[in-house]
Amino acid sequence: MRRPGGVRASAARRVLDLLRAEGTLSRVELAELTGLTAATITNTVRPLIADGLVRESGRDERPGRGQPRRLLRLAADAWHAVGIQVDRTTTTIVVLDFAGVRVAGASLPGTGGRGPEETVRALAAHVDALLDRAGVPRERVLGAALATHGPQDLERGMLLTAQPGPAWLEYPLTAALAERLGVPVLLENDASAAAFGEFWAGSPPTDTFGLIYMASGIGGGVIVDGEVYRGRASNAVEIGHVALAGGRAPCVCGGSGCAQAEAGPQAVVAKALADAGLAERLAVRGEPDGTLADFDRIARAWRAGDRDAAAMLERSARWIGRAAVTLVNLFDLDTVVLAGPAFTVTGTLYREHVAAELERRALSRALRRPQVLVSSNVDSAAAVGGALHVLRTMRIGAPRLADRGRA
Ligand SMILES: [Zn+2]
């Protein structure tokens, strides 16, 4: 059961969360699900209706339910949110309405060798075009979330790493994008956003689970009792940079033997490139910004029955499985979700091998068989999660950034 917002959330946020997750509910059902009194629900719902966020929506006339109850639902067109997931090799943009339904989306190339200024300019142009095409007026956009790799300074909206290039280190990403879009922008870790998106937009069987996110790099997220585990400053669960026993490959983080360096898409592609005949057969090109495209070619070759491609992916999947064992042992989890564009084709292969590693090595395996799932939004989980985060947490009616500048 999704526990909306945990115990800290306000009654209004819990009501909005539940309506977003369930579609329509009566006041009586809201009281049952939140544990709040009928009077509190009535008093919480009234201003939400007055503000145009919630609408009455017919009656629940199902037999055996006594007096028909008026149903409530979110006013889908009240607000919208934009989710942008970006890394070196891919970009995904989604626009969600207030009910969390996707009304527009686009898949684009990643940042490539471009600097942050040029990237922000291009992203803003794509978002503008998407909003126009979907007919969403700018004043109905609550905000945007930019989901990307860590480590990050969420408060200042900056990356604390020189990846993908030196110009990105401490560049004011959210401020620059907010200025161009005219709406507030928040920064989010892509793996955390994906975990969050899976919880609210997918159908995980539990409110406590881990998520492994694989784009051109590897990240991790953990949901505990329905909330993202953030650590001190939202740079938690960097499972791609946990060194694995027997690993030796040097990593961008300065360490060696990290899961990302041993088993990430770049490592798989490098293995293919090391054998000229194999690289040619699989059409792997080794272009600097083409890691995921190359990884995809290997994945498709595996699906077509290529045994070398299978061996490379299985090796990677076993390493990821060992990273998953660490994740599960650290957080006492029994469910791991795989998300991110690298799992779009290979999800089933990784699921099988990660599950096998967990069944062999997870310390809690005797208590409950660990389960591994592929995300229901495998390729756009971080963008969807980012947009949902905006819908759930951005203050409605707060002064808009664009207006604040003029005031
Ligand atoms: Zn590392």
Structure tokens at 91: 């970009």
| pLDDT average, residue stretch 285-311 | 95
E strands within 302-362? 335-339
Q: What is the pTM of this model?
A: 0.90
The stretch 137-144 carries a mean pLDDT of: 95
Encoded amino acid at 320, one letter: I
Is the confidence at residue 341, as pLDDT, over 80?
yes
Strands 185-189 and 141-148: parallel
E strands present in 215-366: 218-224, 227-228, 335-339
pLDDT of 6 strictly over 80: no
**Beta-sheet pairing, 90-97 with 102-109:** antiparallel
What pLDDT does residue 365 have?
84
Kindly state the helix (H) or strand (E) to which residue 55 belongs, with its residue range.
Answer: strand 54-60
Distance 259 CA to ligand 1 centre (A): 7
Taking 60 as the threshold, does the pLDDT of residue 402 lie above it? Answer: no
Cβ–Cβ under 8 Å, residues 278 and 308: yes
At 211 the three-state DSSP class reads: strand
pLDDT at 394 (0 to 100): 87
pLDDT digits (tens, 9 = 90+) for 253-275: 899 999 999 999 999 999 999 99
Give how far Cα 115 sits from Cα of 119, 122, 152, 165, 309, Å.
Answer: 6, 11, 17, 7, 33
Of 161 and 106, the structure prediction assigns the larger pLDDT to 106
Q: Does 16 have pLDDT greater than 90?
A: yes
Q: What is residue 400's predicted lDDT score, i.e. its pLDDT?
A: 39
Distance 219 CA to ligand 1 centre (A): 11
Mean pLDDT within 316-330: 96
CA of 170 to the centre of ligand 1 (A): 20
Phi and psi angles of residue 85, each rounded to the nearest 5 degrees, phi first: -110, 125
CB 318 within 8 A of CB 355: no
Per-chain residues with Cβ under 5 A from ion ligand 1: 241, 251, 253, 255, 258
The token pair that represents 129 in the structure block:
């075009």
The pLDDT of residue 85 is: 96
Peptide bond into 184 cis (omega under 30): no
Give phi and psi for 397, each to the nearest 5: 90, 0
Tell me the CA–centroid distance for residue 252 and ligand 1, in Å.
Answer: 6
Cα(214) to centroid(ligand 1), Å: 14
Q: Residue 357: CB partners within 8 Å, gap ≥ 6?
A: 318, 321, 322, 324, 325
**Ligand 1 midpoint to CA 231 (Å):** 19
User: 218, 338 in Cβ contact below 8 A?
Assistant: no
Would you state the structure tokens that stand for residue 378, as one six-digit string? 């495998």
The pLDDT of residue 92 is 96
CA of 240 to the centre of ligand 1 (A): 6
User: How much distance in Å is there from the Cα of 218 to the middle of ligand 1?
Assistant: 9
Centre of ligand 1 from the C-alpha of residue 45, in Å? 48
Q: Compute the distance between CA of residue 1 and CA of residue 217 in angstroms, rounded to an integer.
A: 31
Length of the chain: 407
Peptide bond into 172 cis (omega under 30): no
Q: Is the pLDDT of residue 405 over 50?
A: no
What domains, with CATH codes, occur in the chain? 11-74 (1.10.10.10), 80-194+382-393 (3.30.420.40), 205-375 (3.30.420.40)
In what side-by-side order are the strands of the sheet with 54-60? 25-26, 69-74, 54-60
Cβ contact 383:93 at 8 Å: yes
Ligand 1 centre to CA of 217 (Å) is 10
Residue 255 CA to ligand 1 centre (angstroms) = 5
How far apart (Å, rounded) are the C-alpha atoms in residues 286 and 266? 9
Rounded to the nearest integer, the mean pLDDT of the chain is 91
Predicted confidence (pLDDT) at residue 152 exceeds the cutoff of 90: yes
Q: What's the whole-number mean pLDDT along residues 350-377?
A: 93
Higher-pLDDT residue of 8, 217? 217
- Asked whether residue 239 carries a pLDDT value surpassing 70, the answer given is yes
Which pLDDT score is estimated for 368?
87
pLDDT band per the 50, 70, 90 thresholds, residue 66: low
Task: Please spell the DSSP secondary structure of 70-125, one letter per residue.
Answer: EEEEE-TTS-EEEEEEE-SSEEEEEEEETTS-EEEEEEEE--TT--HHHHHHHHHH
